[in-house]
Structure 1
Amino acid sequence: MSKLRKLYELMMAGAIYQAKWEKQMSDNILKNKKRLLILIALLSPIVLVSFLGAADFLGGKSAYAPSHYTTTVFIASIAVGLAAGLITGCIGAGGGFIIAPALMAAGVKGILAVGTDQFHIFAKAIMGTVIHKKLGNVCVGLAVAFVIGSVLGATTGGYIQRTIYNWDPVASEAFISIVYAIILGFLGFYGLRDYIKLSKARKKGVQAGGDAHGDAHGGPMTTTKLALNIQKINIPPMINFDEDFGGRRISWLFVAMCGFLVGLLAAVMGVGGGFVTFPLFVYVLGVSTPTTVGTDILQIIFTAGYSSISQYAIYGYVFYTLAMGLLLGSLIGIQIGALTTKVVPGMVIRGFWVLTILAGFANRASVVPDKLRSLELWSISKEACDIITLIGNVVFWAAVGGFGIWVLGSFFKNLKAFREEG
């Protein structure tokens, strides 16, 4: 049980770090006139043709119906991006987890949802990154070794996704849904357990440590035992890093192995590499938080860019209109969500995070029986599958929609206070 607990803490640390990165990218884009103009230039033609209804080619290959371009799907992508942004900005963790499941629930095929999510992350990284501010913390050796591994991992993950899809599109949907159900279920039920414990402790008047997300924001105060043991293994070439913190050395092999895992998960799930990079760098490799942040800026561009373009876009598995909708919605949602945290109790925020993650789990888990039935791996009636899927969709959209309405309501209710403060 302690190992599962540690895994949960590592995943939460990664989710929190990913949320911080998302907020930084949003700030860099929306608070810079040139970047904002570029965003408007990219979105204007898409928004225009969306209402003219004559842009099938913008949506990718129409052969993958019902994922072909429609105005409704584009608007839905903005809504999905907005919801993910609200979760990321308000809760500070986990918003990106619902993008692919939400797109799939809206009718987008799984492989397109993953490729599109990955491309939207790449677009956000390119537009929002301010590298010169972080160059002092970048370790080129770590970045190069990591990218070598992540490219191999992304290639493997993309190949797995395409192979399964080409074999049977239903199997692809089942595979992606099962992966998300396992991860969201693990995070959701562990988060629920923590929330219940914390609620009971507060009712008893016990002061709990940490904030609404735990105490993993800054990483460990000292290098973990695992990291120290890994750094003792001498497999050349060795990489020197953290010279400003006393200096450490590590074999390139372990850095590349971590990169492989990040690239694999990024390509399979469509999530940002930073979600896994942070805990691997800090807890497994023993890299300081400042060096991790600086180095990750370089790797996430290469990993997300390589994965989204070489493994999905060139095969027609990126839905460009949806990617732009996701980008627009998430940028706005993150800003609104971040402001809302100033007027909403931390326990309420934590409760909503658990709710949305469990709703995502319910949604993906609910479609698995029907996929297994279609693959003739489970003898269950179609009627029963339809009912289960309907319940999963209702739970998901009710939870995410309810959360979005609540956050937006809190935001507009306190809009006057935000303006006076600004």
Structure 2
Amino acid sequence: MSKLRKVYDLMMAGAVAQARWEKQMSDNILKNKKRLIILLALITPIFLISILGAADILGGKSAYAPSHYTTTVFVASIAVGLAAGLITGCIGAGGGFIIAPALMAAGVKGILAVGTDQFHIFAKAIMGTVLHKKLGNISVGIAVAFVIGSVLGATTGGYIQRAIYSADPVLSEAFISIIYAIILAILGFYGLADYIKLSRARKKGVTQTDAHGGGAPLTTTKLALSIQKVKIPPVIKFDQDFGGKTISWIFVTSIGFIVGILASVMGVGGGFVTFPLFVYVLGVSTPTTVGTDILQIIFTAGYSSITQYAIYGYVFYTLAMGLLLGSLIGIQIGALTTKVVPGMLIRGFWVMTILAGFANRASVVPDKLRSLNLWKISQGACDIFILVGNIVFWGAIGMFAIWVLGTFFKNLKAFKEEG
């Protein structure tokens, strides 16, 4: 197995762990009356503003200069959150990858899409997370060193985003789109290869388990063993339940720094990056990685969304609430739907949506490079690329959402009887 293949498997392991956590958060919010009241208190003013047409009160042009509130964009944010939730609940991974690209495709500036996506993750986390009993075998030393690094990384990532946007908003859009195109290409094409491989195996009658997360090394890698031999103080003890290991704080903080930058730049939780870096590079066990990842998402997303985006006007609160509402509902519907549909079909849809996200972000790059005078290409050709990218993306997301919702309502009676 190639190193890139191992990285993909570990990225998927991180996405799966984060999806499980998001399902737990959704359950904690929707099944708790106090949290539901808080959610309704946050959402109701936005609906009233929409009805009264008082857009400038919340999310108006004067408050958030790069983009402004419209009822259509708010409804679109609910739809995007719903679609992401359906993917997360159905597949158990990967739903959050489409949020920022979908918001950008809907007309929201890239830097606002990133800041808003990260704020919605933080809002969902503080409302739905019950920290005790959820952190597994987390090492306090690793958690502290990692969060220090992730905060520094998030600060750096936020500065990079704002600096690029201040220099040229078009460059900012190109930067974000290229990063998403690269990440989604890795996930999408390797996911497609997995899907084809499993499909062929099923036709031959070979039973295989889901490969999501299955590529994590069973033993500590040579790289991790080499890193653990370096004893730059202070040295952190961890994985006591797995024989006990030690590692220098500088490596954990450095990994936190990398995760913080990517989370801040992309507006995601960062779990898909934490897993390959922790397991493959540092040699940390999966349980400890899961616990640390949950903790870092809360701190990193909160710190980054507020100090690096919100205070500069790059969080669109109306859209964040729409994403929150849509994703909470979507996760529940998606999770129920998995009980009545074949797993391979679900995986096929996931691959389709991820590749559609890749196509959408890649399709806008030529136009951005043309605007920056970095590529001589006609405006007409760019418009065709963008049109095709939008058709592919919204078509794939729409097909998936319609299929899941249709399956859900078709089996609603069975779900009620079971519940």
Normalised to the residue count of structure 1, the TM-score between the two structures is 0.95
Structure 1 residue 62 displacement after superposition: 4.5
Equivalents in 2 of 1:362, 1:64: separation in Å? 29
Q: Could you tell me which residue of structure 2 aligns to residue 222 of structure 1?
A: 219
The yes-or-no answer on 1:385 pairing with 2:374 is no
- CA deviation profile, 1:157-199 (whole Å, cap 9, x unmatched): 1111111100110010011011111111121111112211221
Tell me if structure 1 keeps the 8 A contact 2:9–2:214: no
- CA deviation profile, 1:75-118 (whole Å, cap 9, x unmatched): 11000000000000001111000000000000000000000001
Equivalents in 1 of 2:218, 2:338: separation in Å? 27
With over 3 angstroms needed to count, the CA separation of the structure-2 counterparts of 1:401 and 1:344, relative to structure 1, is same
With over 3 angstroms needed to count, the CA separation of the structure-2 counterparts of 1:296 and 1:11, relative to structure 1, is closer
The yes-or-no answer on 1:405 pairing with 2:406 is no
Tell me if structure 2 keeps the 8 A contact 1:213–1:350: no
Equivalents in 2 of 1:381, 1:299: separation in Å? 44
Tell me if structure 1 keeps the 8 A contact 2:135–2:290: no
Show the 5 A alignment for 1:226-305: 226-305=223-302
Show the 5 A alignment for 1:79-98: 79-98=79-98
Please give the secondary structure, in 2, of the residue aligned with 1:239. Answer: strand
Equivalents in 1 of 2:135, 2:4: separation in Å? 36
Equivalents in 1 of 2:136, 2:397: separation in Å? 40
Please give the secondary structure, in 1, of the residue aligned with 2:175. Answer: helix
Tell me if structure 2 keeps the 8 A contact 1:66–1:107: no
- CA deviation profile, 1:260-283 (whole Å, cap 9, x unmatched): 111000011001132322333333
Equivalents in 1 of 2:375, 2:211: separation in Å? 41
The yes-or-no answer on 1:191 pairing with 2:191 is yes
Tell me if structure 1 keeps the 8 A contact 2:138–2:288: yes
Equivalents in 2 of 1:418, 1:159: separation in Å? 48
Task: Give 1:211's aligned amino acid.
Answer: D
Structure 1 residue 136 displacement after superposition: 6.6
Tell me if structure 1 keeps the 8 A contact 2:18–2:294: no
Q: Could you tell me which residue of structure 2 aligns to residue 314 of structure 1?
A: 311
Q: Could you tell me which residue of structure 2 aligns to residue 211 of structure 1?
A: 210
219-228 or 192-201, which deviates more: 219-228
Equivalents in 1 of 2:276, 2:332: separation in Å? 25
Task: Give 1:100's aligned amino acid.
Answer: A
Normalised to the residue count of structure 2, the TM-score between the two structures is 0.96
Equivalents in 1 of 2:205, 2:62: separation in Å? 58
Tell me if structure 2 keeps the 8 A contact 1:88–1:96: yes
192-201 or 327-336, which deviates more: 192-201
With over 3 angstroms needed to count, the CA separation of the structure-2 counterparts of 1:260 and 1:65, relative to structure 1, is same
- CA deviation profile, 1:15-63 (whole Å, cap 9, x unmatched): 1122112111111111122111111111111121122210324216548
The alignment of Structure 1 onto Structure 2 pairs a total of residues equal to 419
Task: Give 1:196's aligned amino acid.
Answer: I
Task: Give 2:210's aligned amino acid.
Answer: D
Please give the secondary structure, in 2, of the residue aligned with 1:390. Answer: helix
Task: Give 1:241's aligned amino acid.
Answer: F
- CA deviation profile, 1:112-152 (whole Å, cap 9, x unmatched): 00000010011111111111223673322111100111011
Equivalents in 2 of 1:271, 1:140: separation in Å? 24
Please give the secondary structure, in 2, of the residue aligned with 1:130. Answer: coil
With over 3 angstroms needed to count, the CA separation of the structure-2 counterparts of 1:409 and 1:387, relative to structure 1, is same
Tell me if structure 2 keeps the 8 A contact 1:17–1:278: no
With over 3 angstroms needed to count, the CA separation of the structure-2 counterparts of 1:43 and 1:198, relative to structure 1, is same
Equivalents in 1 of 2:233, 2:350: separation in Å? 44
Q: Could you tell me which residue of structure 1 aligns to residue 73 of structure 2?
A: 73
Equivalents in 2 of 1:273, 1:83: separation in Å? 20
Please give the secondary structure, in 1, of the residue aligned with 2:54. Answer: coil
Structure 1 residue 401 displacement after superposition: 0.6
Equivalents in 1 of 2:317, 2:34: separation in Å? 22
Tell me if structure 2 keeps the 8 A contact 1:184–1:360: yes
- CA deviation profile, 1:216-249 (whole Å, cap 9, x unmatched): 5xx5443333322221211110011222333221
Equivalents in 2 of 1:420, 1:161: separation in Å? 50
Q: Could you tell me which residue of structure 2 aligns to residue 157 of structure 1?
A: 157
Counterpart pick for 1:333 among 306, 330, 334: 330
Equivalents in 2 of 1:4, 1:298: separation in Å? 27
Equivalents in 2 of 1:273, 1:146: separation in Å? 12
Q: Could you tell me which residue of structure 2 aligns to residue 123 of structure 1?
A: 123
Uncovered stretches (5+) of structure 1, i.e. residues with no partner: none
Tell me if structure 2 keeps the 8 A contact 1:373–1:379: yes
Equivalents in 2 of 1:355, 1:14: separation in Å? 20
Equivalents in 1 of 2:6, 2:385: separation in Å? 33
Structure 1 residue 215 displacement after superposition: 2.4
268-277 or 174-183, which deviates more: 268-277
150-159 or 99-108, which deviates more: 150-159
Structure 1 residue 254 displacement after superposition: 0.8
Q: Could you tell me which residue of structure 1 aligns to residue 342 of structure 2?
A: 345
Please give the secondary structure, in 2, of the residue aligned with 1:379. Answer: coil
Equivalents in 1 of 2:195, 2:326: separation in Å? 29
Equivalents in 2 of 1:332, 1:394: separation in Å? 25
Q: Could you tell me which residue of structure 1 aligns to residue 45 of structure 2?
A: 45
Uncovered stretches (5+) of structure 2, i.e. residues with no partner: none
Task: Give 2:185's aligned amino acid.
Answer: G
Please give the secondary structure, in 1, of the residue aligned with 2:247. Answer: strand
Q: Could you tell me which residue of structure 1 aligns to residue 134 of structure 2?
A: 134
Identity value in percent: 84
Equivalents in 1 of 2:134, 2:17: separation in Å? 16
